Amino acid sequence: MFHALRHRLKTFSRDSDGSVSIEFAIYAPLLLGVFAAFYTFFDAFRQESVNLKAAYTVSDLISRETTALNNDYIDSMYEMTKLLIRSDSNMSLRVSVIRWDEDDQRYYVDWSAVRGGALEQWTDGTISNVKDDLPNMPDQERVILVETRNQVTPAFRVGLPDLDINNFVFTRPRFAPLVRFEGDVDAGGSHDDGAGDTGVVD
């Protein structure tokens, strides 16, 4: 009995006959799952890279401006940013000009403009929340701060959660000491260094 069973097992192990359609039905879901996982993780890394490049692009363009910006300019930067990233994702953009005051040992906001619903304008009172992320600057030096927030849903559900991609990029003005914003500007508190009004863009 044992000898017959052993013989049958050896015969089965050496048998190379099979059905291609059955083997395909067994392996196809596994292969498709592996391909979907590779694509999803690759797309996630690509989205992070694209978002960072988009933030640097906006920051670099604004740093070259020598005339006052307006709402139409910020709108165009927002539309360009959305074109650079995945179109079906939720994008928010915040552009601000931040100034360091040596006497007060704190940062002030010259102006701040927001597009999209995930971010709020910086003010003199709230900019201190990210002071550790801002660069060390000489007295009355200014930087252009560009932030993006992109909420991306993975292409396939392979265990990767929804992505909340945040970028925080700052650049010095290149051809002018500061980049102004035209239009109505609210008062930015009691601080006055003689360099003009500061505040938040509506």
* Domain residue ranges in the chain: 18-171
Return the pLDDT at 191.
35
pLDDT score for 1: 66
Q: Which residue has the tokens 């940062």?
A: 107
Residue whose tokens read 């989205």: 47
Closest-CA residue to 201 (of 140, 123, 138)? 123
**Whether the Cβ atoms of residue 113 and residue 96 lie closer than 8 Å to each other:** yes
Q: What is the pLDDT along the chain (202 residues), one digit of tens a residue?
A: 677 777 776 776 666 666 667 777 888 888 888 888 888 888 888 888 999 999 999 999 999 999 999 999 999 999 999 988 876 678 899 999 999 999 999 999 999 999 998 899 999 999 999 999 999 999 999 999 999 999 888 878 877 788 889 999 999 999 888 899 986 444 333 334 444 444 444 4
C-alpha–C-alpha distance, residues 123 and 186, integer Å: 11
pLDDT at 194: 45
Virtual torsion, Cα 193, 179, 138, 199, nearest 10 deg = 40
Write the single-letter amino acid at 110: D
pTM score, two decimals? 0.74
